[in-house]
Amino acid sequence: MKPHSDTAVPGARLDIVPLLVVPAVALAAVAFIPSLPTWVTLTVAGLAMGMMIFIMASGLTLVFGLMDVMNFAHGAFISVGAFVAASVLVPMKSSMQEPSALANLSAIAPAILAAMMVAGLLGWFFERVVIRPVYGDHLKQILVTMGGLIVAEQMIHVIWGPDVIPLPRPAFFSGAITFGEVAVERYRLLAVAVGIAVFAAMFLVLNRTRLGLLIRAGVENPEMVESLGYRIRRLFVGVFVAGSGLAGLGGVMWAMYQESVQSNMGMQMMVLIFIVIIIGGLGSVGGCFVGALLVGLVANYAGYLAPKLALGSNILLMVLILLWRPRGLYPIGKA
């Protein structure tokens, strides 16, 4: 028997209004930025920054949605990922300095793989040892994960030393491509491409696979997922490890963007990451994506127009969005 497709009830349609806010913000900025090439440069920079924040934040929003865990130690996975990548990339300096994209990628790929694996393993350890005893208690979660972040930072000092490690960008992805008067940094285009690839992969997994169906259901109502016979704890751990691995990837991208690695880089990013996942709607990957792009754009426009307001601009953005949609751009209907 074939189900009907005609329906009086709205189907699974995408709410495009929050999505339109991104181009709306970008277009609104044209009015304040006198030069078009500057606007293009700032917009690409904002999108690249947004993509990198998305990569770092996407795992955390899923962890919060699925496990109801406030994990401030997520920043540790970002820092550790960056340091592991630096350890791989420093000995491969010659490949990084060659002008060939293939040679650069042959160094970057193992560095990213190592960073994601170590960050994922650290995530697994963290879930078992630090977070598992405090499930369901937000206050304790904040305390132990903040403590975990501090311990992880100190461990980085012990292993890699307290100094900032320079991490030059790969030669092929250094410099800019110019279109007339518009100059766009190559690395930013790479960041946009990686961000889109991560979003597309997460979108496909969440919307086209049974695992994704389970994760979406688990974010809404983990108890009912268990009642259907699925071991949600295993799903929790899997998502936590994957989210930690993505944080590691984000750390590598961000470190190459900043051209240096330092132990507190993860902690510094946590403010922006929390703003992004709150704006997006806790637990929503799509919301996290849109929120990250908005934060990236606003930070860059504000940094150009009113540098002193740069960080405050994102808090203002969060306030405005929460006034409009109190549960974020794409709220998850939690049970």
Partner 1 sequence: MLALSGVNTHINLYHILQGVDLVVPRGELTMLLGRNGAGKTTTLRTIMGLWRASAGRIDLGGADIAGMATPSVAQLGVAYVPENMSIFAGLTVRENLLLAARERSFDESRLARIFKLFPAMQKFWNSLAGNLSGGQKQMLAISRAIVEPRRLLLIDEPTKGLAPAIIANMIEAFRELKLETTILLVEQNFNVARELGDSVAVMDSGRVVHSGRMADLARDEALQTRLLGLSLDSHQ
What 3-state DSSP class applies to 180?
Answer: coil
In the block, tokens 């800019």 appear at 176
Shortest Å distance, C-beta 219 to partner 1: 8
Of 132 and 231, the one with the shorter C-beta distance to partner 1 is 231
Of 100 and 209, the one with the shorter C-beta distance to partner 1 is 209
Nearest to 58 by CA among 313, 322, 281, 264: 281
Of 17 and 177, the one with the shorter C-beta distance to partner 1 is 17
- The pair phi, psi for residue 179, each rounded to 5°, is -120, 95
Shortest Å distance, C-beta 8 to partner 1: 8
Of 3 and 180, the one with the shorter C-beta distance to partner 1 is 3
Of 222 and 245, the one with the shorter C-beta distance to partner 1 is 222
In the block, tokens 């009907």 appear at 4
Cβ count near 153 (within 10 Å): 20
In the block, tokens 């799903």 appear at 235
Q: Which residues contact 264 (CB under 8 A, 6 or more apart)?
A: 79, 153
Of 46 and 65, the one with the shorter C-beta distance to partner 1 is 65
Contact 77, 241 (CB under 8 A): no
> Residue 151, CB half-sphere, CA atoms under 13 Å: how many?
11
Contact 330, 287 (CB under 8 A): yes
Q: Which residues contact 255 (CB under 8 A, 6 or more apart)?
A: 82, 85, 86, 167, 261, 265
Task: Let me know how long the chain is.
Answer: 335
Task: Specify the DSSP class assigned to residue 130.
Answer: I
- Beta strand residue intervals within 96-205, DSSP E: 165-166, 176-179, 182-185
| CA separation for the pair 263, 260 (Å, rounded) | 10
Of 3 and 34, the one with the shorter C-beta distance to partner 1 is 3
Shortest Å distance, C-beta 216 to partner 1: 6
Shortest Å distance, C-beta 214 to partner 1: 7
Shortest Å distance, C-beta 234 to partner 1: 10
Shortest Å distance, C-beta 226 to partner 1: 4
Interface with partner 1 (CB under 8 A): 1, 3-7, 9-12, 210, 213-214, 216-217, 220-221, 223-232, 332-333, 335
Shortest Å distance, C-beta 40 to partner 1: 37
| CA separation for the pair 59, 50 (Å, rounded) | 15
Shortest Å distance, C-beta 246 to partner 1: 22
Of 137 and 163, the one with the shorter C-beta distance to partner 1 is 137
